[in-house]
């Protein structure tokens, strides 16, 4: 199985006229480094903002301009050639003008005619000034795009724009574009979670001994954040309750964030957010014990040793609490981090916790568990069902788990 869904893929990058175009050389470079074949098509206004020469160098291919469309030496129309070559299209940034042409079926530039001619899935990332983004014509066009087959629309984020406006209009950051493109390659564009709300917990909790020292674990939160983004790209509203994360900040765009630190804070957040969730994925790595007393000052070594000698209090099992409170039809996915012989331990944990699904993975093997880019393990489900999931990228795995969670909700 291909571990990077973008490696070896033919990706057409369409760049239209928004200042966010300056970020595209980074995306093109990253795609080429991941082994994708990349060709760029750029509109005249985008060519004022970003250099076609830079795009050609970074993609290791020529960069196509409007002037290339009318050649008496080409045996086939260039827009048809490019449209049929592409396995995936990244349309970023998508300007108001290119959006308008696309929605209204106009093919008067190389990019516009290529978009009409392609049958490949398109990731469309809009970017423009806040007032332009809220103009009725643009809103109506963007609404239309939501209904297009084969299109994954990525609306702009809030932020400080180059025009000095604070508001919506900033293009999704390059790391999110790459993640969404990987999602398009591995899952597709179908929004089967539209209208549903997912609650995800991710990352580690920390239990403090004193202001300088804590008990925690090496969870980076990657698996939980990817579950959240996979569901969001499939149309879900997502609440992400998270401890200290080590992921690209761009991967958090489009999620409703609820930062926590300790197990007690995680417990409170879950109690508050559970009632509105259609489904829950409990990927947080909860630290299981906390000292019975936390010192408010940084102690001497001897004093610290006394705290570490105990007593310790258990952190309640939050997954079991979620299961005991759940409403009818609310499906819950738990995780099991195991060393040694994973499956029998996971089966016992699954029976004990009472969740609908449990994904168990080894944490003592390379390429699985904490901080890895890939994962593998066993998915346990109703009726003692056990599915072996071989090593795959964590986003691909996230989609498999979201499908399993969605199928039963
Ligand atoms: N979990 C939880 N509350 C805890 C501990 C774990 O909700 N206090 C959840 C985790 O988020 C995960 C599942 O329970 O979904 C299993 O976590 P894991 O650490 O593998 O197991 P533990 O319950 O801690 O059991 P053990 O450490 O004995 O393996």
For residues 254 and 152, membership in a common domain is answered with no
Cα(286) to centroid(ligand 1), Å: 6
For residues 399 and 267, membership in a common domain is answered with yes
Ligand 1: residue whose CA is nearest its atom 24: 288
293-347: pLDDT as tens digits: 888 889 888 888 888 888 999 999 999 999 999 999 999 999 998 988 989 999 9
Question: Does residue 78 lie within any of the structural domains?
Answer: yes
For residues 245 and 144, membership in a common domain is answered with no
For residues 43 and 94, membership in a common domain is answered with yes
For residues 172 and 37, membership in a common domain is answered with yes
pLDDT at 137 over 90: yes
Residue 336 CA, closest ligand 1 atom number: 20
For residue 213, give the CATH number of its domain: 3.40.50.10300
327-337: pLDDT as tens digits: 999 999 999 98
For residues 213 and 340, membership in a common domain is answered with yes
Ligand 1: residue whose CA is nearest its atom 27: 288
Question: Does residue 152 lie within any of the structural domains?
Answer: yes
Question: Does residue 206 lie within any of the structural domains?
Answer: yes
- Rounded CA-CA distance 244/259 in Å is 8
Residue 353 CA, closest ligand 1 atom number: 14
Question: Does residue 4 lie within any of the structural domains?
Answer: no
For β-strands 10-15 and 331-338, DSSP reports them as unpaired
With beta carbons less than 8 A apart as the criterion, state whether 131 and 165 touch: yes
For residues 264 and 150, membership in a common domain is answered with no
With beta carbons less than 8 A apart as the criterion, state whether 381 and 10 touch: no
End-of-domain residue from the set 186, 216, 241: 186
Question: Does residue 192 lie within any of the structural domains?
Answer: no
Between residues 405 and 369, which one has the greater pLDDT? 405
For residues 144 and 241, membership in a common domain is answered with no
End-of-domain residue from the set 134, 151, 186: 186
For residues 117 and 218, membership in a common domain is answered with no
- Given this model, what pLDDT does residue 367 score? 76
- The count of domains in the chain is 2
- Residue from 200, 203, 263, 282 whose mutation best tests the ligand 1 pocket (most atoms within 8 A of CB): 282
Kindly provide the b/e burial profile for residues 254-275, where b requires at least 16 CB atoms within 10 angstroms of the residue's own CB. Answer: bbeebebbbbebbbebbeebbe
Question: Does residue 3 lie within any of the structural domains?
Answer: no
> Region 266-295: what's the mean pLDDT?
95
> Region 105-127: what's the mean pLDDT?
97
Q: Which helix (H) or strand (E) holds 37?
A: strand 37-42
For residues 173 and 220, membership in a common domain is answered with no
Residue 263 CA, closest ligand 1 atom number: 8
67-107: pLDDT as tens digits: 999 888 888 999 999 999 999 999 999 999 999 999 999 99
158 Cβ contact list (under 8 Å, min separation 6): 166, 167, 168, 170
Residues with CB under 6 A from ligand 1: 282, 284, 286, 288, 315, 317-319, 334-337
Ligand 1: residue whose CA is nearest its atom 18: 336
Residue 2's pLDDT band (cuts 50, 70, 90): low
Residue 408's pLDDT band (cuts 50, 70, 90): low
List the domain range (segments joined by +) for residue 326: 197-405
Cα(406) to centroid(ligand 1), Å: 22
Our answer to whether residue 40 is catalytic in this structure is no
- Residue from 218, 288, 289, 401 whose mutation best tests the ligand 1 pocket (most atoms within 8 A of CB): 288
Ligand 1: residue whose CA is nearest its atom 14: 319
Residue 161's pLDDT band (cuts 50, 70, 90): confident
- Residue from 283, 286, 326 whose mutation best tests the ligand 1 pocket (most atoms within 8 A of CB): 286
Among residues 40, 63, 163, 355, which one is catalytic?
163
* Per-residue DSSP letter, 4: S
Question: Does residue 234 lie within any of the structural domains?
Answer: yes
For residue 90, give the CATH number of its domain: 3.40.50.1950
- Given this model, what pLDDT does residue 310 score? 82
End-of-domain residue from the set 157, 186, 215: 186
Question: Does residue 1 lie within any of the structural domains?
Answer: no
Cα(216) to centroid(ligand 1), Å: 13
For residues 104 and 167, membership in a common domain is answered with yes
For residues 208 and 297, membership in a common domain is answered with yes
């Amino acid at each position: 199985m291909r571990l990077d869904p973008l490696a070896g893929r033919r990706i057409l990058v369409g760049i239209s006229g928004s200042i966010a175009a300056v970020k595209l050389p980074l995306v093109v470079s990253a795609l080429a480094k991941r082994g994708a074949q990349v060709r760029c098509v750029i509109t005249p206004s985008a060519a004022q903002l970003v250099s076609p020469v830079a795009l050609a160098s970074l993609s290791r291919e020529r960069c196509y301009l409007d002037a290339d469309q009318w050649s008496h030496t080409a045996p086939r129309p260039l827009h048809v050639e490019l449209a049929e070559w592409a396995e995936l299209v990244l349309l970023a940034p998508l300007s108001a003008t290119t959006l308008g042409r696309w929605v209204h079926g106009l093919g008067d530039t190389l990019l516009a005619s290529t978009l009409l001619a392609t049958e490949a899935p398109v990731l469309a990332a809009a970017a423009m000034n806040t007032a332009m983004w809220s103009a009725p014509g643009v809103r109506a066009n963007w609404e239309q795009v939501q209904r297009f087959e084969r299109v994954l629309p990525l609306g702009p984020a809030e932020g400080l724009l180059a025009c000095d406006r604070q508001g919506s209009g900033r293009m999704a950051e390059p790391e999110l574009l790459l993640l969404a493109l990987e999602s398009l390659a591995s899952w597709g564009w179908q929004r089967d979670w539209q209208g549903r709300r997912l609650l995800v917990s991710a990352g580690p909790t920390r239990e403090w001994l004193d202001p300088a020292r804590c008990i925690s674990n090496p969870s980076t939160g990657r698996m939980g954040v990817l579950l959240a983004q996979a569901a969001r790209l499939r149309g879900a509203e997502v609440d992400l309750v998270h401890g200290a994360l080590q992921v690209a900040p761009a991967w958090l765009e489009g999620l409703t964030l609820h930062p926590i630190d300790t197990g007690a804070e995680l417990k409170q957040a879950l109690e508050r957010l559970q009632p509105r969730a259609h489904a829950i994925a409990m990927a947080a790595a909860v630290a299981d014990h906390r000292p019975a007393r936390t010192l408010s000052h940084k102690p001497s070594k001897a004093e610290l040793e006394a705290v570490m000698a105990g007593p310790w209090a258990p952190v309640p099992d939050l997954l079991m609490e979620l299961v005991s409170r759940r409403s009818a039809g609310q499906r819950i996915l738990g995780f099991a981090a195991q060393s040694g012989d994973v499956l029998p331990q996971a089966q016992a944990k699954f029976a004990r916790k009472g969740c609908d699904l449990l994904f168990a993975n080894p944490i003592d093997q390379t390429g699985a568990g904490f901080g890895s880019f890939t994962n593998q393990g066993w998915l346990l489900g109703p009726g003692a069902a056990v599915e072996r999931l071989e090593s795959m990228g964590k986003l691909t795995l996230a989609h498999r788990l979201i499908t399993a969670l969605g199928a039963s909700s």
